[in-house]
Chain A
Amino acid sequence: MDENRHHRLRARTLKGLQLFALFIAMCFICIPGLWVVLNSFRPTVEIMAKPPVWIPQDLNLDHYRAMFGGVGEGGVPVLRYFTNSLIISVTSTVIAILVGMAGGYAFARYQFKGKAAIFIGLMLTRAVPGVALSLPLFIVMARTGLIDTHIGLILVYVSLNVPFTIWLIDGFFRQVPVELAEAAEIDGCTRWQAFWKVEFPVARAGVASAGIFAFLTSWNEYALASQLTRSTFSKTMPVGLRDFTSEFTINWGGMCALAVLMIIPALILTFLVQKHLIAGLTFGGVKG
């Protein structure tokens, strides 16, 4: 009896400790992020105050108002940046998924010479640091007239995301038994139909998880975008953050306001697809 109670007490303490640890961990994750959100509503003098103002005295939408304001009022072409970011991220994600699906299918379903080497080779293209790639890429893009265009940046982001997409989707197709597709073909489907009707649905979760990673990478990329975009015609939101730094000063509150606009869509999207994300990663990883 006594031992049982002792045991239960220990289990409860353990549970409590676990929750406490989880709480602390979540604080560490959230505070630096929420601090950015909070600063977007505070006047700059209060953010920079010394001694610090802990309880916000003056919350307002000034930074947002200024951001959407005209030239000379601190206005920044937010809507252009947002549309550019959206067009570039979504298109490049979709293309990366299509290209990645084709590639992943090839690795999963066909045997050929040098398969492992090609696979590693594709992965390694991702290992090139952006700072080392940016200038030669700029020169190539300038020669082909792709500087400061959506297409140029989309192309770059597709190539950034294709390796990881291939990897994840490859793992998914592998767990679909070959017999399943073959059976469908016997039933009169073409190979193409068999793919869409039988193999693709199983791999959907993998596509979702690859998609979210690809989207977040494109959405947040800065090093290459800062080189390859020149004007509001193609500037994305991370590059737009730089508009808040001028010659010698930085408008931190304003930068936070734009950051919040960047975070919200990403957060919503992640929340919506994260169920698939976990499932996708689970199978993709083990079977790969």
Chain B
Amino acid sequence: MTRFRLPAWFVLLLPAIIVLAAVVLIPLLLSLYSSFTSYRLTRPDSLYNWIGTFNYEKAAKSAHFWAAFGRTLLLLTIALNLEMLLGLGLALLVNQVTYGQRALRTIMMFPMMFSPLLVGFQFKFIFNDNVGLVNNALQSLGLSNTAIPWLVDGQLAFFSILVAEMWSSTSVFAILILAGLFAVPRDPIEAAKVDGCTPWQSFRHITLPYIMPFIYIALAIRSLDVARAYDIVQIMTNGGPARRTELIWTMIGRTGYVDAKMGYANAMGYISIFLAIFFTIYFFRKLNAARAELGMGG
């Protein structure tokens, strides 16, 4: 009597696959289908109105969409790089401290306790032109005598969003890079010191290669998670004024829920998913390369 047995690895992976299929895959297929229809939330029967690639063509031809796409790409690139550098700096500083490090590490993770929604409200008030913390401070210190419109001026609004996003996410980089610093072996650094290497040289040639995998892990995690910035931007500016801070996500949210044009929103959603996939795969490649360099591939 031969009984067919599923391979053990498959059985072990099954729960994960089932849950992800139910929660992510099925809804995604539904939205993929609806992106080829003229689906409007307020008219449920429009779900069966097949219009081919009309929505995709519309998005592809829309200057506003590509402007938002470009802006999202720009924001991601700047934010991820700056967060990485600041996180690295922060981790190095905390790593130097010997006394009270536990408390410092907890403080370092403080922003991670803040829901992105809250971060949005928080920075909206901090950057308010009339009663905001920043303008109040500048005016009280005599550094400025005008109400700086942080959330209105194109560049300043982008900057304000960037600050909020970085405040909420630099911790993730710092904590992962700090973990990397803990993994760096002491011996080669001591040896390098004896050989007369400057601190910069030993950092560049010994420490950095060790923490590179951690940096790429952080980048990969963050690029998977970036759409969290939606909550922040939606509250702070909702893409305005005059589309100056419009990101793909705010555009999708408004088109889908306020304009009720779900078909079109889902088409744009798919394009944005490809953006996230591109970033993630890119960082995965980098991660594997960095691991291979350390002889830990696999």
Contact = CB atoms under 8 A, between A and B. Distances in A.
Nearest to B164: A32
Nearest to B136: A52
A263 to B, nearest CB: 5
B252 A131 contact: yes
Interface string B104-121: 111111111111111001
Interface residues of B, number: 96
Most chain A beta carbons < 10 A, residue from B8, B26, B118, B175? B118
Given A33-B110, A125-B24, A22 B13 contact: no
A216 B178 CA distance: 19
A22 B23 contact: no
Contacts, number: 270
Given A125-B24, A140-B27, A285-B180, A267 B276 contact: no
Interface in A116-170: 118, 120, 122-133, 135-137, 139-140, 155-156, 158-159, 162-164, 166
Q: Could you tell me the dominant secondary structure of chain A's interface residues? A: helix
A285 B27 contact: no
A132 B252 contact: yes
Q: Give the size category of A's interface with B.
A: 35 or more
Contacts of A163: 20, 224
B16 interface: yes
Contact of A127 (B27, B123, B273): B273
Interface string B270-296: 101100110011001000000100101
B4 interface: no
Contacts of A32: 111, 122-123, 126, 167
A255 B27 contact: no
B2 interface: no
Given A122-B20, A274-B105, A278-B105, A106 B12 contact: yes
Q: Could you tell me the dominant secondary structure of chain B's interface residues? A: helix
Contacts of A266: 112-113
A219 B116 CA distance: 11
A127 B276 contact: yes
Interface of B: 7-10, 12-13, 15-17, 19-20, 22-28, 30-31, 34, 41, 89-90, 93-94, 96-97, 102, 104-118, 121-123, 125-126, 130-131, 133, 136, 140, 167, 171, 175-176, 178-180, 182-183, 210, 213-214, 217, 220-221, 223-225, 227-228, 230-231, 249, 252-253, 256-257, 262, 265-266, 269-270, 272-273, 276-277, 280-281, 284, 291, 294, 296
